[in-house]
Amino acid sequence: GENVEQHPSTLSVQEGDSAVIKCTYSDSASNYFPWYKQELGKRPQLIIDIRSNVGEKKDQRIAVTLNKTAKHFSLHITETQPEDSAVYFCAASGGYSTLTFGKGTMLLVSP
Amino acid sequence: EAGVAQSPRYKIIEKRQSVAFWCNPISGHATLYWYQQILGQGPKLLIQFQNNGVVDDSQLPKDRFSAERLKGVDSTLKIQPAKLEDSAVYLCASSLTGNAEAFFGQGTRLTVV
């Protein structure tokens, strides 16, 4: 089955800095890569996603890049704000459409 | 539109007891997922349904866990008998199809004592 590795497990930045979270996947048939944000005690919520026919996608301060050859994808958050502090999960959905998550990155943005 | 509904929100049981969780997905969503999220970890897929058929249950501990999605709508997840290591949040999610945005319910926090 699919295996998703996520790094780093924790990331501390100053407000206004950029943050980058990286994920790798194992199943070359995977074609859908969402990113979820989970605040403490709440449900995961989708913040951005990308499909395998696209190399990059942006939504305001958030961008995701995908390298199919290397089987890795990354989340980029620019101009970080304290409200960006949360746990971020990458996921990959493969040929059988099962959605597999990484272990998560705790992002801490200090004012 | 209404979101994914789960109940109960919290449950405390003793080890070796049984427990059941219920999930009502977003109307029209064919794909339903059950995830187990242990504190500090990512969601682990237990079972995925497409309508009322099972797509993947490879990580479901079938000696104690069971799930069904009768009529391809609501779903129940059961644990019998529970172990201490089953303490976790059980998240239900649904999507229109596979490879599409999954919407999560609030989850059920299970504590096994």
Sign of the CA dihedral running A50, A53, A57, A63: positive
Report whether A85 contacts A109 (CB < 8 A): yes
- Distance from the B38 Cα atom to the nearest Cα atom in chain A, whole angstroms: 10
- Among the partner-chain residues A44, A93, A102, the one whose CB lies closest to the CB of B99 is A93
Report the pLDDT averaged over residues B21-30.
96
Regarding predicted confidence, which is higher, A9 or A95? A9
pLDDT tens column, A21-30? 999 999 998 9
Contact across the interface for A34 and B99, Cβ inside 8 Å: no
Report whether A108 contacts A13 (CB < 8 A): yes
Report the pLDDT averaged over residues B48-58.
92
Contact across the interface for B56 and A43, Cβ inside 8 Å: no
Q: Which of A43, A45, A93 to mutate to test the interface with B (most CBs of B within 10 A)?
A: A43
Report the pLDDT averaged over residues B61-84.
95
How many CB atoms are closer than 10 A to CB B86? 20
Contact across the interface for A44 and B43, Cβ inside 8 Å: yes
- Among the partner-chain residues B42, B50, B101, the one whose CB lies closest to the CB of A104 is B42
Contacts of residue B2, defined as CB under 8 A and 6 or more positions apart, other chains included, come to B26, B27
State the Cα–Cα distance between residues A6 and A22, nearest whole angstrom: 6
Residue B71 has pLDDT above 80, yes or no: yes
Quote the pLDDT of residue A96. Answer: 67
- Mean pLDDT, all residues of chain A: 94
Report the pLDDT averaged over residues A83-101.
90
Residue B70 has pLDDT above 90, yes or no: no
Quote the pLDDT of residue A2. Answer: 85
- Among the partner-chain residues A6, A46, A98, the one whose CB lies closest to the CB of B55 is A98
Residue A95 banded pLDDT, cuts 50, 70, 90: low
State the Cα–Cα distance between residues A88 and A102, nearest whole angstrom: 9
Residue B65 has pLDDT above 90, yes or no: yes
pLDDT tens column, A29-79? 899 999 999 999 899 999 999 998 889 999 999 999 999 999 999 999 999
Contact across the interface for A98 and B98, Cβ inside 8 Å: yes
Residue B43 has pLDDT above 90, yes or no: yes
- Among the partner-chain residues B50, B56, B105, the one whose CB lies closest to the CB of A43 is B105
